[in-house]
Amino acid sequence: MVRTYQNGDHHSIGRIYHEAIHRLACRDYTEEQLAAWAGREADRGKWSRDWQARCERKRPFVKVLDDRVVGFMELDPDGHIDCTFVDPDHAGQGVMDEIMAEVKREALRLGLEKLYAEVSITARRFFERQGFVRVRDNTAVIGEIELANFIMEWKVVPTTP
Distance CA 8, CA 110 (A): 26
Q: Where are the domains of the chain?
A: 2-155
pLDDT, position 54: 94
Helices (H), 30-146: 31-38, 44-58, 95-110, 124-129
pTM of this prediction exceeds 0.95: no
In the structure, what pLDDT confidence band is assigned to residue 39 with cuts at 50, 70 and 90?
confident
With respect to CATH, is domain 2-155 assigned 1.10.230.10?
no
3-state secondary structure of 60: coil
C-alpha dist (Å) from residue 119 to 52, 58, 158, 160:
23, 18, 24, 30
Percent of the chain with pLDDT over 70: 94
In the structure, what pLDDT confidence band is assigned to residue 47 with cuts at 50, 70 and 90?
confident
Helix or strand (DSSP H, E) at 18: helix 10-23
pLDDT, position 158: 73
